[in-house]
Structure 1
Amino acid sequence: MTIPLLRCAVLDDYQGVATSLADWSPVTDRVAVTAFREHFGSEEELAAALADFDIVVTLRERVPFPASLFARLPKLRLLVASGMRNSVIDHAAAEAHGVTVCGTASSSTPPVELTWALLLGLARGLVQENTALRQGGPWQSTVGADLHGRVLGLLGLGRIGSLVAGVGTAFGMDVVAWSRNLTDERAAAAGVRRAATMEELLGESDYVSIHLASNPGTRGLIGATELALMKPEAYLVNTSRAAVVDQGALLAALTGGRIAGAAVDVFDLEPLPADHPMRTAPRLLATPHLGYVTQDNYRRYYGEAVEDIAAFLAGEPIRRLG
C-alpha cells in the first residue's frame, strides 16, 4: 500500500530558490514540497492556503503565527522557522495544538554588509547618479558626504552593532554608541566611545545606524522629538527593526528636509503596498528587507529546515523552539 506523502509549504519564497539552494532529497520520499512565492496578506488567506499542509517552513519573522491561526490549521504538525528566536510565533498555542516548532542556526552573514551598502549609497548619491547616467541625465548632480572624520552613532552595540563599528573605524570615523545597558568597558572593548544618553548621540552624529532588538522598550524609540535632535545634514540608517522608528515621523522629517536623508531595509508593513508613501518619499534609499537575503544564509536556513523535517519524521525533533 502506498503511504500518502505529507505536504510541506514553504512561505514567502519570493525569489523561487527554496528548493534549489538546499538538498531536499532526504525527505522527498515522504514529503511533497510546495513553495509559495506570493505573500499572503491576511490570516484568512494564509489559513485557506495552508489548510491541507502538515509542515510549514517560514523565514525569520515574516509571518505571524498567533493562536487564532493555529486553531485554523488542524493538520499542521511541524512549523520550522529560520533562526533560534521568533517573537511572532505563539509557542504556547503551538504546543496546545500539538505543533512542534523548530528553528535553524542563525545567520552566518548578518546585515552588516547591507548596512554599509545603504550608508555608502546614501552618502554618495549612488542611486541618483546611476539613474542619471543610464537615462542620459546630467553628468554629476550630487556632492557626496564624507565618512572619514565624521561621527558614526550606533544605537545598539551587540553582535551586529560591534561589527558595524569595526567598519566605521576602518573608514576613519569617530564611532560612538548608546544603549540602555551599555557600559564604558563594553564600549571600550569594541573600540568606541559610549554616549551618556541617546539624545547626546543623536545630536553629535553625522550618521546614525540602528541595531536594537524590537521590544516594548525600543518600539517608537525614535520619533519626531528624537529626529529633531539630529543635525540637518545627518543621515539615519535602519536595517534592524522597523518598530524602533516612528514611520510617520520619519516621513515627515524626510519630506520637510529636517534631516539629509535616510536608508531603511525594514518597514511596519511588509511587503510594502504599492501606494505606500515610503515608496516615493524624498531623501530615502529603501530596500525590501534584504538584510539576511544572501546565498549562504538561504543555504543554511533551508538546509537545516530539511534536517529539522527529517528529524521530526524520525521521531526525534531537533532545535526545538518554545
Structure 2
Amino acid sequence: MSNSRLRCVVLDDYQAVAAAMADWDRLGARVAVEFEKRALTDDAQVLARLADADIIVANRERTPFDAARLAALPKLKLLVTTGMGNAAIDMEAASARGIIVSGTGNAGAPTAELTWALILGLSRQIVREANGLKEGHWQQTLGMALKGKILGLVGLGRVGLAVAAIGRAFGMQVMAWSPRLDDARAAEAGVRRAASLEETFEKADVISLHATLNPASRGLVDAGLIGRMKPSAYLINTSRAGLVDEAALIAALKAKTIAGAGIDVFHIEPLPADHGLLALPNVLATPHLGYVTDDNYAAYFGDAVENIASWLENRPVRVLNPAV
C-alpha cells in the first residue's frame, strides 16, 4: 500500500449526519473523506462522482455496483457496504478486479420498530386523524383493534422474531411461514407455523414481510396471494420491495380489495413524487426508514472507519467477497 492520499466517498448521506457518526479523523492523512448528500440515480452521475474514488462506502443497496459499473471505476480498491450483505454488488466481478468488499454490523430492532409504527399508523388511521385534527375535524375513522387479531409473518429471522414478540404483547395471535420453518422453531418463538403461505394470506389480519430477497422469493407476493387477503387486512413491507408484485398491489389498493398497505421499501428509490402508490389514500409510505436510526448509523459508519483503517494496514476485516 502506497503512502499517497486516497479518496473515499461516502454515498447517500441524505441527512448530512455520517461525518458525525464516526471518528473519520482516525484515518489521518492517508484518506480524504467526502460525503455525498445527493441521490445518484443514473450511470452518468455515479461515474462522474466516483471515477477517482479509491474507497467507496455504499449505504445499503441504493447504488448498484454491477460488473460494468465496477469496470468503469478503475481506481476502486475497497467497497464498504453498510450491513453484512448487499445484493446490489456483483461480488464475483469485484473479486475479479481485485476489489475488496467489506460489510458492517447493524441492528434489527430499528426495522422491527418501524414495522410496528406502520401497523399502528394504519390500524388506527393516525396520519388521517392527526392531519384532520389540524384542519378542524374530530374522529373521522374507526380503528381496528389488534388484540385477538391474527398477525401473519412471512419470514421469521431476527426482525421477524422481534415483530412477533411485540405482536404477542399486543395480544395478537401470531402465525408465521417460511420455507425452512419447522414446528419446533415456531414453538420456540411462540408462534404457530402456518401450513402454507396461502394460509397465512387467507387468515391474517395483518401480514408483515420479513423474508430475504433471492431468485426464489422475488415476486413472491403476487396477484394470487394478494387476492386471498381479507378485505379488512393490511400488508406491511419493511423488508425488500422485490418480494411484492407492485402492479398487483396497486390494483388491489385501488379496488379496495384489501384495507391498505404500509410500505418502507420501493422498486425505485428515492421514490418519484408522482409514483402511483403515493396517490392512494390507503397507503402509509415511509422513505426507507427501517434502518435509519442513531444507533444503526453509529454501527454502520463506526465499522466502516474500522474497515478502512484495517485495510490500510493490510489486514482487511468483515470481507464479504471471495478472496482476492
Structure 1 residue matching 2:288: 3-state secondary structure: coil
**Shift in Å, 1:131:** 0.8
Structure 2 residue matching 1:28: 3-state secondary structure: helix
**Shift in Å, 1:98:** 2.0
Structure 2 distance, partners of 1:14, 1:124, is 30
Q: Does the 8 Å CA contact 1:109/1:297 hold for their aligned counterparts? A: no
Structure 2 distance, partners of 1:177, 1:258, is 23
Q: Are 2:206 and 1:175 aligned?
A: no
Which residues of 2 match residues 97-108 of structure 1 at below 5 A?
97-107=97-107
Q: Name the aligned partner's letter for residue 157 of structure 2.
A: G
Structure 2 distance, partners of 1:216, 1:48, is 32
1:210 is matched with 209
* Structure with more helix by fraction: 2
Q: List per-residue Cα deviations over 1:133-192 (Å, max 9, x = no partner).
A: 12x231110111010011111111122111111111110001111111211111111111
Runs ≥4 residues deviating over 3 A:
none
Q: Does the 8 Å CA contact 1:152/1:174 hold for their aligned counterparts? A: yes
**Shift in Å, 1:205:** 0.8
The verdict on how the C-alpha distance between 1:108 and 1:257 changes in structure 2, with shifts beyond 3 A counting, is: closer
Q: List per-residue Cα deviations over 1:1-35 (Å, max 9, x = no partner).
A: xx652111000111011101111111132111111
Q: Does the 8 Å CA contact 1:177/1:201 hold for their aligned counterparts? A: yes
Structure 1 residue matching 2:8: 3-state secondary structure: strand
1:261 is matched with 260
Between the two proteins, the alignment pairs up a number of residues equal to: 319
Q: Are 2:50 and 1:50 aligned?
A: yes
Q: Does the 8 Å CA contact 1:80/1:103 hold for their aligned counterparts? A: yes
Q: List per-residue Cα deviations over 1:212-240 (Å, max 9, x = no partner).
A: 00011111111111111111011111101
1:248 is matched with 247
Q: Does the 8 Å CA contact 1:154/1:211 hold for their aligned counterparts? A: yes
Q: Does the 8 Å CA contact 2:110/2:293 hold for their aligned counterparts? A: no
Unmatched runs of 5 consecutive residues or more in structure 1: none
Q: Are 2:192 and 1:193 aligned?
A: yes
Structure 1 distance, partners of 2:213, 2:232, is 27
2:30 is matched with 30
**Shift in Å, 1:110:** 4.3
Q: Name the aligned partner's letter for residue 96 of structure 1.
A: A
**Shift in Å, 1:273:** 1.3
Unmatched runs of 5 consecutive residues or more in structure 2: none
Structure 1 residue matching 2:9: 3-state secondary structure: strand
Say what the alpha-carbon RMSD is for the aligned residues.
1.2
Structure 1 residue matching 2:164: 3-state secondary structure: helix
**Shift in Å, 1:106:** 2.9
Q: Are 2:76 and 1:76 aligned?
A: yes
Which residues of 2 match residues 272-287 of structure 1 at below 5 A?
272-287=271-286
Q: Are 2:65 and 1:65 aligned?
A: yes
Normalising by structure 1, we get a TM-score of: 0.96
Structure 2 distance, partners of 1:80, 1:107, is 17
Structure 2 distance, partners of 1:304, 1:210, is 28
Shifted more, 51-60 versus 119-128: the winner is 51-60
